[in-house]
Structure 1
């Protein structure tokens, strides 16, 4: 399976074999800068998310949030912890619903935070509210 890595320099989408993530020297196919292959949750735009969903081989988890939202602030560290633990098993992103309102329109988000799970290019599950790691693990095994 290949993991999607977004270039910190140019924002290009790169796919790297999961087995090669630990080796150093991964570079962006577009700008040739070194890629950050460490486990992290990446903030993205709606347009970039659509491309990732279309090309991802692994499940894609998305934390839809807003900066002003108290529960979103509580959920961010939980989602990050889950992403750190399962980084090789999925793709993990966060998207600001205020800056990217089309995500709410397209996927029917009515409350935040909302966790979206995409598999094989399609929305497989959507859950509003602050979720705990065990529930996220259940979503991963769906």
Structure 2
């Protein structure tokens, strides 16, 4: 009788663990390439777009690793507290006749920050940001 009770208790425990696992227990880190089109000749610090991403464990860190037109764009580095926003850094580069497409490579780190402010990188993804410029009549 005691053995039967232990088996039933064990089965119920395993069943409870299985059904108590939720989608939040899954490890999610999703970020994809970003493409947009804007008018040429934008303003300084104009918002170009927001890179969508999903992460359920850790924070995100966005780092521009290369641009085909240096200093054309900037990206906020908010450690996951807001959206990853892309801005015009130097509007002089946003001329359709000179640079019809601006391309940047972004390294996206998923990090964990410890109480002593040190951090560990959990995952890294590399994405491409492409900005197509619309030619406006002059």
**TM-score class, shorter:** under 0.3
Compute the TM-score of the two structures, normalised by the length of structure 2.
0.23
Specify which structure has the higher proportion of strand.
2
Specify which structure has the higher proportion of helix.
1
Higher Rg of the two aligned structures: 2
